[in-house]
A and B are shown apart, each in its own frame.
Chain A
Amino acid sequence: QQKVQQSPESLIVPEGGMASLNCTSSDRNVDYFWWYRQHSGKSPKMLMSIFSNGEKEEGRFTVHLNKASLHTSLHIRDSQPSDSALYLCAADPSGSWQLIFGSGTQLTVMP
């Protein structure tokens, strides 16, 4: 069964620092990768998506995708305490009806 692996499991960065999160799919037929953010006690909300090889930047957030290695990464610069949350990576295999979520990276930004 297709899996999405995320690393690290948890990450602590100082306020103003850079956070780097990784995600790899075991399914070679993935067309789309998604990053969702879930604050404690809340529901997941889509943060960024990437469908093509390369890089995409939105404000302090940058996502990279290497389709050959099925690896995506999320980078948060100038991290803020409000960025503390569970970050979930999801992959959408081609022709599939479902999103496959990884187990998440728990990010803590220390003031």
Chain B
Amino acid sequence: ETAVFQTPNYHVTQVGNEVSFNCKQTLGHDTMYWYKQDSKKLLKIMFSYNNKQLIVNETVPRRFSPQSSDKAHLNLRIKSVEPEDSAVYLCASSFWGGDAEQFFGPGTRLTVL
């Protein structure tokens, strides 16, 4: 099956803990992304990773960091989570270019207590 896969589906943790989310795509794409979707369903880009080039949305707090081993994997680490980090984190992939469709994974719902 070719798709974008994410683990875990859900994660509950406490303020100050570190969490990591995994994302893998089997679509042969060269670009991967992380998005945050808040409780109002607003979808905001966090990172884009293409051919070892990382582009960071300047509004993303420094406690967030992407980690990639190859073009098919892009993980997300959050050091010392805050309550406002509670959201759904969506991974996506595409070929590079504005005319390329992005394919989304099922998401990881993070709850910070």
Contacts and interface: CB of A to CB of B under 8 A. Distances in A.
Nearest to B96: A97
Interface string A66-104: 000000000000000000001010001110111111011
Contacts, number: 47
Interface string B72-113: 000000000000000000100000001101111111000000
A49 interface: yes
Given A32-B99, A43-B104, A45-B104, A103 B41 contact: yes
Contacts of B25: none
Nearest to A106: B41
A97 B48 contact: yes
A98 B99 contact: no
Interface residues of B, number: 20
Contacts of A45: 104
A31 interface: yes
25 contacts: A31-B98, A31-B99, A32-B99, A38-B41, A42-B106, A43-B107, A44-B104, A46-B102, A46-B103, A49-B99, A49-B101, A86-B41, A88-B43, A92-B99, A93-B98, A96-B98, A97-B48, A97-B50, A97-B55, A99-B45, A99-B102, A101-B43, A103-B41, A103-B42, A104-B41
